[in-house]
């Protein structure tokens, strides 16, 4: 990890290759399968509290070691060992049209608790997106071209006023954290309470207890200027599935004149071109998690199937049971009806969300991805149950220290 030397008047540090490729890929999967509309136009976000609220608390596990490494690096760099708490952790992506002008990260009265910022880049300028360059107003380096695995840390005050150019294509993805000396803004205290409410009551580490539950529909409705107009825009869950080359088919009779939020909670199947995939999903968010998992991990899933999965006859049978049938006319009409309601503008979808729909699709590895996703979710759920008591005890020690 090659670090660029820090300027005294504009305290900042560039950390090359701070994250691993696997860490970046895992966080990208989490964001693309769980994100909601963000705080600015053309921005999407995934917060840890949102993951807990949507029955995906196990997905916070990959964040924890990264948060610890970043906090240690910030404390070491700025000479404030054992003084900081993590105020916020979130995944933020900027799609075409997103930008932000000159500002500091503590530029509002309700943000004054922020002392330091860390931004980790999960994809690369010039490869995954265009535009989106990061600029500091003063000092060096003046401009940062985001590169996957790199991170930048800096003080959140006016010494590091910065801006981000408009993204012109693709999706610029970051992990962003803020750190504070004020223990009353400790994110961990809030997360532990949420976890105790939402996780500990589960008695079985089984796949069906880990299925995602969507938030309110307005958190997923994208319009170019964040208007509330349901006549334009699209639902980002169906939009991301469309970008992967999938359509949504509801096999039950749907009343599109009723509450649309109820429809998206219904069981459904995925279709691809003129084929209907056999597997039934609990809801559209469930299918999106599988679709994104398959898209980002297709090579690993294929390796698991051919080299590891074949050792298990039960697993082999499950993979081979993956089926697809040709869509009937009535099924195609149902899909068209769903798209007319939830994908008002497919051209807008393809402009905002980078399309992966033309990439190779393998039914066998998609079926393997379903099993792999279930194993992955169960593994993380067990980890969070084991780590929660330690996390609670660690946070309690910090609270005592800050109160002294």
Residue 395 confidence class, pLDDT cut points 50, 70, 90 = low
Q: What is the pLDDT averaged over residues 252-265?
A: 77
181: burial class by Cβ within 10 Å (0-12, 13-18, 19+)? Answer: middle
Q: For residue 390, is it within any domain?
A: no
Gap between the Cα atoms of 163 and 399, Å rounded: 35
232 and 185 in a common domain: no
Please give the pLDDT value at position 367.
Answer: 81
Residue 307 predicted with pLDDT over 50 = no
Least confident of 67-71, 186-190, 390-394: 390-394
Q: For residue 400, is it within any domain?
A: no
Quick one: DSSP state of residue 125? B
Contact (Cβ atoms closer than 8 angstroms) between residue 42 and residue 94: yes
Least confident of 35-49, 155-169, 185-199, 249-263: 249-263
Q: Which range marks the domain in which residue 242 is found? A: 217-304+320-382
Gap between the Cα atoms of 108 and 390, Å rounded: 34
Residue 396 confidence class, pLDDT cut points 50, 70, 90 = low
Residues 6+ positions from 384 with CB-CB distance below 8 Å: 57, 58, 60, 61, 195, 199
Gap between the Cα atoms of 136 and 103, Å rounded: 10
Residue 312 predicted with pLDDT over 60 = no
Residue 360 confidence class, pLDDT cut points 50, 70, 90 = low
335 and 279 in a common domain: yes
Q: Which of 183, 207, 231 is the last residue of a domain?
A: 207
106 and 80 in a common domain: yes
Please give the pLDDT value at position 389.
Answer: 78
Q: For residue 225, is it within any domain?
A: yes
Q: What is the pLDDT of residues 223-245, one digit of tens each?
A: 987 666 667 899 999 999 999 99
Helix (H, G, I), strand (E, B) or coil at 44: strand
Q: What is the pLDDT averaged over residues 9-21?
A: 95
Q: What is the pLDDT averaged over residues 300-329?
A: 54
225 and 201 in a common domain: no
Gap between the Cα atoms of 320 and 367, Å rounded: 8
Please give the pLDDT value at position 305.
Answer: 39
Please give the pLDDT value at position 58.
Answer: 92
Average pLDDT value over all residues in the chain? 86
222 and 198 in a common domain: no
Q: What are the C-alpha distances in Å from 38 to residues 27, 32, 35, 168, 248?
A: 17, 13, 8, 18, 24
Percent of the chain with pLDDT over 70: 83
Q: For residue 315, is it within any domain?
A: no
223 and 190 in a common domain: no
199: burial class by Cβ within 10 Å (0-12, 13-18, 19+)? Answer: middle
Kind and range of the H or E element at 225? none
Q: Which of 152, 183, 207 is the last residue of a domain?
A: 207
Q: For residue 338, is it within any domain?
A: yes
Gap between the Cα atoms of 267 and 284, Å rounded: 8
Please give the pLDDT value at position 261.
Answer: 73
363 and 281 in a common domain: yes
Please give the pLDDT value at position 104.
Answer: 98
Helix (H, G, I), strand (E, B) or coil at 103: strand
158 and 57 in a common domain: yes
222 and 201 in a common domain: no
Residue 319 predicted with pLDDT over 70 = no
Gap between the Cα atoms of 127 and 61, Å rounded: 28
Could you write out the DSSP letters of every residue in 311-353? Answer: G-HHHHHHHHT--EEEPPHHHHHHHHHHHHHHBS-HHHHHHHS
Could you write out the DSSP letters of every residue in 278-296? Answer: S--BSSHHHHHHHHHHHHH
More confident call, 310 vs 130: 130
Gap between the Cα atoms of 151 and 149, Å rounded: 7
Q: For residue 396, is it within any domain?
A: no
Please give the pLDDT value at position 260.
Answer: 72
Please give the pLDDT value at position 34.
Answer: 95
Residue 317 confidence class, pLDDT cut points 50, 70, 90 = very low
Structural domain count of the chain: 2
For residue 202, give the CATH number of its domain: 2.60.120.620
Strands lying side by side in the sheet with 36-37: 3-4, 12-15, 151-155, 116-121, 172-180, 85-94, 43-47, 36-37
Q: For residue 389, is it within any domain?
A: no
Residue 165 predicted with pLDDT over 50 = yes
Give the chain's count of helices (H) and strands (E): 11, 20
Residue 306 predicted with pLDDT over 60 = no
Q: For residue 355, is it within any domain?
A: yes
125 and 21 in a common domain: yes
Please give the pLDDT value at position 369.
Answer: 83
Residue 362 predicted with pLDDT over 90 = no
139 and 54 in a common domain: yes
329 and 224 in a common domain: yes
| Beta pairing class for 247-249 and 269-272 | antiparallel
């Amino acid at each position: 990890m090659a670090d660029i030397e820090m300027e005294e008047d504009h305290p900042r540090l560039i950390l090359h290759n701070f994250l691993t490729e696997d860490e970046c890929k895992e966080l990208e999967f989490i964001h693309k399968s769980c994100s909601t509309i963000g705080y600015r136009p053309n921005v999407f976000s995934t917060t840890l509290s949102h993951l807990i609220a949507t029955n995906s608390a196990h997905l916070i596990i990959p964040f924890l070691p990264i948060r610890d490494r970043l906090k240690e690096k910030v404390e070491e760099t700025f000479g404030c060992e054992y003084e900081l708490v993590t105020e916020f952790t979130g995944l933020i992506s900027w799609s075409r049209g997103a930008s932000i002008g000159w500002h500091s990260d503590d530029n509002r009265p309700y943000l004054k608790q922020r002392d330091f910022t860390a931004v980790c880049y999960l994809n690369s300028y010039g490869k995954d997106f265009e535009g989106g360059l990061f600029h500091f107003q003063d000092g060096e380096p003046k401009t940062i071209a985001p590169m996957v695995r790199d991170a930048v840390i800096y003080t959140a005050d006016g010494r590091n006023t910065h801006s981000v150019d408009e993204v012109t294509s693709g999706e610029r993805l970051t992990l962003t954290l803020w750190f504070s000396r004020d223990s009353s803004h400790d994110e961990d205290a809030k997360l532990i309470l949420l976890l105790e409410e939402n996780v500990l009551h589960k008695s079985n580490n089984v796949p069906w207890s880990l299925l995602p539950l969507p938030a309110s529909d307005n958190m997923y409705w994208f319009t170019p200027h964040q208007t509330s107009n349901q006549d334009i825009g699209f639902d980002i869950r169906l939009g991301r599935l469309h970008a992967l080359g999938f359509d949504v088919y509801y096999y039950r009779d749907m009343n599109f004149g009723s509450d649309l939020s109820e429809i998206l909670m219904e069981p459904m199947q995925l279709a691809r071109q003129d084929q209907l995939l056999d597997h039934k999903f609990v809801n559209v968010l469930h299918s999106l998690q599988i679709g994104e998992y398959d898209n980002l991990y297709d090579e690993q899933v294929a390796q698991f199937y051919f080299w590891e999965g074949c050792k298990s006859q039960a697993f082999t049978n499950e993979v081979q049971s993956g089926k697809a049938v040709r869509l009937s006319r009535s099924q195609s009409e149902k899909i068209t009806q769903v798209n007319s309601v939830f994908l008002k503008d497919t051209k807008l979808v393809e402009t905002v969300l980078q399309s992966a729909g033309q990439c190779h699709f393998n039914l066998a590895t998609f079926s393997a991805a379903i099993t792999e996703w279930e194993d992955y979710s169960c593994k993380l759920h067990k980890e969070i149950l084991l780590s929660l008591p330690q996390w609670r005890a660690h946070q309690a020690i910090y609270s005592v220290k800050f109160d002294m």
